[in-house]
């Protein structure tokens, strides 16, 4: 009989958002009369249609696939040059030196965050901010990485923990942060790059929400920090800026100058390892989807991304105003589509989840699902229709906070 991966038994039995869906489904079954009133502010899933530029590109690409002369089979393993060039071009416009072939297309950032462990050796000392996107920790547990420490995000440090006094080999950072919506300043990121360089560590930087940054001067990419291309890999997604959660596309940026080491001490670049990994395990993103991703970088596409993200940020503003009126304590919603809200006194974050579901039919995400430091908080997602967000604001205003 085949042995199973023992590491899976160290995980909580279900993934955070699967557990939320399960609980909401149970509640719907038990209270069918309330099913239609449930508003989902849990998982950060987009609700608005794709930008028109993408729709046009998709239609055109599908038409090309219908004709022998323009039909395409397998694409290049790392993505078509047209989209890699568009992505790297945007980095370059922002003053970073990223080459087209340092971009690797994928079917989304969640997979990249998980798969990147394929090119990292065992025995690394891993640092993960807490609270944070649960995929980082869960995938390290699955891989059997046992030396994992957590950086404590607190009210005091604004959920942007500083580098610790001890050394690590791999650091996961996510800014704008999921779940807290906190952003890191240039100085804060520079401190992380300095730490990584001093300790020969690698930063895995998740920038899935960079399109929501509205405050001038906040870095959109780790590569805005001098020296980062020697010690960082960046993960980016089209899910939240282009509304691709159902279309699936993202990318990893791996500068050829980012190095790790072999057991014998020889320095090696991560770039060829990821190239080898992708060409063996991945057959690329579909041609129409890559054309849709490319369209996000056209003049029309950029304007539509701005409109789309502005729409969700307007939702964030409405939610902030509603929370302010009721004197709820929260952070976020300024440079990110999430609000990180303090639980009512005496309630754990799962208590709060049940309280909101049962009393006002609002689905939230319990903070403890993002790590130990998330206990005492819950997350509200701003990805929703305007009508739903207005209704959420109205319902929140009916709750007694103190």
Beta carbon of residue 366, minimum distance to ligand MLT (angstroms, whole number): 12
Beta carbon of residue 158, minimum distance to ligand MLT (angstroms, whole number): 20
207-226: contacts with ligand MLT (CB under 6 A): none
Taking the C-alpha atoms of residue 300 and residue 54, their distance in angstroms, rounded to an integer, is 10
Taking the C-alpha atoms of residue 170 and residue 252, their distance in angstroms, rounded to an integer, is 16
Beta carbon of residue 239, minimum distance to ligand MLT (angstroms, whole number): 6
Secondary structure E strands in 39-88: 39-40
Residue whose C-alpha is closest to residue 385's, from 45, 25, 33, 55: 45
Among 40-48, 65-73, 220-228, 272-280, the segment contacting ligand MLT (CB under 6 A): 40-48
> Which residue lies nearer to ligand MLT by CB, 124 or 309?
309
> Which residue lies nearer to ligand MLT by CB, 43 or 190?
43
Q: Which listed residue (139, 140, 145, 178) binds ligand MLT by CB under 6 A? A: 178
Measured at the alpha carbon of residue 229, what is the angle toward residues 226 and 233, in degrees to the nearest 5?
130
> Which residue lies nearer to ligand MLT by CB, 45 or 200?
45
Decide if residue 242 touches ligand MLT (CB under 6 A).
no
Strand, helix or coil at 4?
Answer: coil
Taking the C-alpha atoms of residue 332 and residue 336, their distance in angstroms, rounded to an integer, is 6
> Which residue lies nearer to ligand MLT by CB, 59 or 372?
372
N residues, the chain: 402
> Which residue lies nearer to ligand MLT by CB, 61 or 207?
207
Taking the C-alpha atoms of residue 263 and residue 57, their distance in angstroms, rounded to an integer, is 47
Among 43-51, 162-170, 209-217, 265-273, the segment contacting ligand MLT (CB under 6 A): 43-51
Q: Which listed residue (11, 38, 43, 114) binds ligand MLT by CB under 6 A? A: 43
Residue whose C-alpha is closest to residue 57's, from 242, 206, 260, 215: 242
With contact defined as beta carbons under 8 Å apart, do 179 and 206 qualify? no
Beta carbon of residue 28, minimum distance to ligand MLT (angstroms, whole number): 20
Q: State the CB neighbour count (10 A cutoff) for residue 101.
A: 16
Among 39-47, 191-199, 259-267, 287-295, the segment contacting ligand MLT (CB under 6 A): 39-47
Taking the C-alpha atoms of residue 129 and residue 371, their distance in angstroms, rounded to an integer, is 9
Beta carbon of residue 225, minimum distance to ligand MLT (angstroms, whole number): 24
With contact defined as beta carbons under 8 Å apart, do 222 and 228 qualify? yes
Beta carbon of residue 136, minimum distance to ligand MLT (angstroms, whole number): 11
Q: Which listed residue (20, 39, 41, 44) binds ligand MLT by CB under 6 A? A: 44
Decide if residue 35 touches ligand MLT (CB under 6 A).
no
> Which residue lies nearer to ligand MLT by CB, 193 or 382?
382
Beta carbon of residue 182, minimum distance to ligand MLT (angstroms, whole number): 14
Taking the C-alpha atoms of residue 27 and residue 357, their distance in angstroms, rounded to an integer, is 8
Taking the C-alpha atoms of residue 82 and residue 287, their distance in angstroms, rounded to an integer, is 11
Beta carbon of residue 135, minimum distance to ligand MLT (angstroms, whole number): 7
Instruction: Compute the chain's Rg from CA coordinates.
Output: 21
Q: State the CB neighbour count (10 A cutoff) for residue 167.
A: 13
109-128: contacts with ligand MLT (CB under 6 A): 110
With contact defined as beta carbons under 8 Å apart, do 128 and 113 qualify? no
Q: What residues make contact with ligand MLT under the rule CB under 6 A?
A: 43-45, 110, 133, 178
């Amino acid at each position: 009989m085949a042995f199973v991966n023992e590491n899976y038994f160290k995980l909580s039995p279900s993934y955070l958002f699967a557990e939320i869906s399960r609980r909401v489904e149970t509640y719907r079954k038990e209270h069918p009369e309330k099913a239609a009133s449930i508003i989902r502010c849990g998982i950060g899933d987009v609700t608005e249609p794709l930008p028109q530029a993408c729709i046009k590109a998709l239609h055109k690409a599908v038409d090309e696939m219908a004709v022998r002369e323009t039909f395409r089979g397998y694409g290049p393993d790392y993505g078509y040059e047209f989209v890699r060039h568009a992505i790297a071009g945007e980095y370059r416009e922002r003053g970073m030196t990223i080459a087209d072939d340092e971009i690797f297309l994928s079917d989304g950032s969640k997979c990249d965050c998980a798969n990147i462990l394929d090119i990292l050796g065992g025995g690394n000392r891993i640092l993960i901010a807490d609270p944070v996107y649960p995929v980082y920790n869960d995938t390290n547990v699955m891989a059997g990485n046992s030396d994992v420490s957590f950086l404590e995000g607190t009210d005091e440090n604004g959920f942007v923990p500083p580098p610790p006094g001890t050394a690590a080999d791999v650091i996961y950072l996510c800014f704008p942060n999921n779940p807290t919506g906190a952003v890191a300043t240039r100085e804060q990121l520079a401190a992380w790059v300095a730490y990584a360089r001093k300790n020969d560590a690698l930063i895995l930087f998740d920038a899935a929400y960079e399109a929501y940054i509205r405050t001038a001067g906040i870095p959109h990419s780790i590569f805005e920090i001098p020296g980062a291309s020697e010690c960082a890999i960046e993960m980016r997604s089209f899910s939240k800026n282009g509304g691709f959660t159902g279309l699936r596309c993202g990318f990893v940026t791996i500068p050829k100058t980012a190095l790790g080491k072999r057991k014998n001490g020889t320095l090696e670049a991560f770039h060829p390892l990821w190239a080898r990994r992708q060409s063996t395990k991945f057959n690329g993103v579909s041609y129409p989807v890559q054309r849709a991703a490319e369209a996000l970088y056209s003049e029309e596409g950029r304007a539509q991304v701005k409109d789309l993200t502005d729409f969700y940020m307007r939702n964030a503003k409405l939610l902030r105003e509603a929370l302010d009126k009721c004197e709820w304590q929260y952070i976020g919603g300024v440079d990110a589509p999430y609000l990180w809200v303090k639980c009512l006194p005496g309630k754990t974050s799962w208590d709060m989840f049940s309280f909101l579901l049962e009393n006002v039919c609002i689905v939230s995400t319990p903070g403890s699902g993002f790590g130990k430091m998330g206990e005492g908080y819950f997350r509200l997602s701003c990805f929703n229709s305007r009508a739903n967000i207005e209704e959420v604001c109205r319902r929140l205003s009916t709750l007694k906070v103190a």
